[in-house]
Amino acid sequence: MVAIIWSIKVVELLYVRVKFMKKILIVLGLIATVIAIGLGSPTKLVAQSTSESNADIAQTVDISGNSAIDQAAFRPQDRDESSAPYEAKDRAIIGRDDRVPVLTRKFPWSTIGRIEYRVNGSGYTCTGSLIGRNLVLTNAHCLIDKYSGKPVVAKNSSPSAAQLIFKPSLIRNTSIDQARVIDYQYGTTDPRKSGPADDWAILKLDKPLGDIYGYLGWRGLDLSQKAVLNKIRARLTLVGYAEDYPKSQDSTELGRFGETAGMHRKCSIESLDQGLVIHRCDSNPGASGGPIFAYFKDTKSYSIVALHSSTFTNSAGKVRNRAVQVSRWAAKASALRRIK
């Protein structure tokens, strides 16, 4: 009799436990459903388009400008904007270089191009960027002959003479348009020695390519202030047609050296030294005259903060990159912009 009673109690206990376990399983099932909905929903997620103005927030600079120096950028209404230098379909991941190719003609990449000096079948190349309807910013050493100290082309020279040509948005050695330099202003006749802080030149084109491709603005930041350097750290971009880029293994896809621009994003300015901007953006010959620029939160557009010029070896024997301050050329650029 006792055994029967104990058997009944064991059955009752098991029944209670089974009911309890069922409740636990129901609760666990509900939790799993919630997680599945939150993480594994069958709803298709659409990536944000880069065809509109949507600069990477990590790249955005939130800092006040200088109204006495600054000028705005311009994007034509019919030219899309993109913070990406290429679309996913344009290339595969290649190499380990910090630079990536610029393979889009969307704004602001459309404003940057290659400068070519041509004479008797030879010459050299530099980088330049549109900063007005018919104005290109570059280095003085891309214009001035290092031996004579004079410009390599005469103002308003005939098309048959030595020429400086600007090709905007050159990709794989192909540009839709080009324009000839017919006038210029520059900061020094000896940029490599006595005048590196004024190694700037503004070239006037025979066509208003800025109306088609847009043009960059500029910001006169006080780069002597550590707080300013901190705010722009890892938020800058340098684009240039360097002679060592694309890498040789990429030549089939991107063209030969200097035929496609390379971009180093998320680079920084280190300091201001004797009037020169010292920066950590990857570059090489051919990238001279490339803009160092950023996307600014207040204007929601792109502005140049320094003009890359060259490399040098400091007193410690280390190679460093240098650039020209905006304040050295901004007044002249503003005056030229006002001329119709």
Domain range for 82 is: 57-338
HEC assignment per residue over the chain: CHHHHHHHHHHHHHHHHHHHHHHHHHHHHHHHHHHHHHHHCCCCCCCCCCCCCCCCHHHEECCCCCCCCCECCECCCCCCECCCCCCHHHCCCCCCCCCEECCCCCECHHHEEEEEEEECCEEEEEEEEECCCCEEEECHHHCECCCCCCECCCCCCCCCCCEEEEEECCECCECCCCEEEEEEEECCCCCCCCCHHHCCEEEEECCCCHHHHCECEECCCCCCCHHHHHHHCCCEEEEECCCCCCCHHHHHHHCCCCCCCEEEEEECEEEEECCEEEECCCCCCCCCCCEEEEEECCCCEEEEEEEEEEEEECCCCCEEEEEEEHHHCHHHHHHHHHCC
Q: Is 289 left (phi over 0), alpha (psi -120 to 50) or beta?
A: left
> What is the percent of the chain with per-residue pLDDT over 70, rounded to a whole number?
76
Name the β-bridge partners of 90. Answer: none
Residue 160 in domain: yes
Residue 43 in domain: no
Mean pLDDT, residues 196-212 taken together: 96
pLDDT of 253 reads: 73
Residue 34 has pLDDT above 80, yes or no: no
> What is the percent of the chain with per-residue pLDDT over 90, rounded to a whole number?
48
Residue 67 in domain: yes
pLDDT band at 330 (very low <50, low <70, confident <90, very high): very high
pLDDT of 93 reads: 30
Residue 15 in domain: no
Closest CA to 277 of 307, 299, 252, 247: 307
271-314 pLDDT, tens digit per residue, is 998 889 999 888 777 899 999 999 999 999 999 999 999 887 77
Residue 130 in domain: yes
pLDDT of 316 reads: 80
Residue 36 has pLDDT above 50, yes or no: no
Which one has a higher pLDDT value, 71 or 17? 71
pLDDT of 92 reads: 31
pLDDT of 254 reads: 74
pLDDT band at 81 (very low <50, low <70, confident <90, very high): confident
Residue 202 contacts residue 137 (beta carbons within 8 Å): yes
pLDDT of 198 reads: 96
100-145 pLDDT, tens digit per residue, is 889 999 999 999 999 999 887 778 999 999 999 999 999 999 999 9
Q: What CATH number does the domain containing 292 carry?
A: 2.40.10.10
pLDDT band at 146 (very low <50, low <70, confident <90, very high): confident
Please tell me which of 17-21, 120-124, 162-166, 247-251 the model is most confident about, judged by mean pLDDT.
162-166
Residue 98 in domain: yes
Which string of b and e fits 216-254 if b means at least 16 CB within 10 Å? bbbbbbebeeeebbeebeebbbbbbbbebbbeeebeeeb
pLDDT band at 56 (very low <50, low <70, confident <90, very high): low
CA dihedral 294→298→299→301, nearest 10 degrees, is 30
Which one has a higher pLDDT value, 16 or 200? 200
Residue 245 in domain: yes
Residue 333 contacts residue 320 (beta carbons within 8 Å): no
Please tell me which of 63-67, 137-141, 149-153, 187-191 the model is most confident about, judged by mean pLDDT.
137-141
Residue 334 has pLDDT above 60, yes or no: yes
Residue 8 in domain: no
Distance CA 333, CA 135 (A): 8
Q: What is the mean pLDDT of the chain?
A: 79
The model's pTM: 0.77
209-267 pLDDT, tens digit per residue, is 999 999 999 999 999 999 999 999 999 999 999 877 766 656 667 767 778 998 888 89
Domain count, the chain: 1
Closest CA to 126 of 164, 73, 177: 164
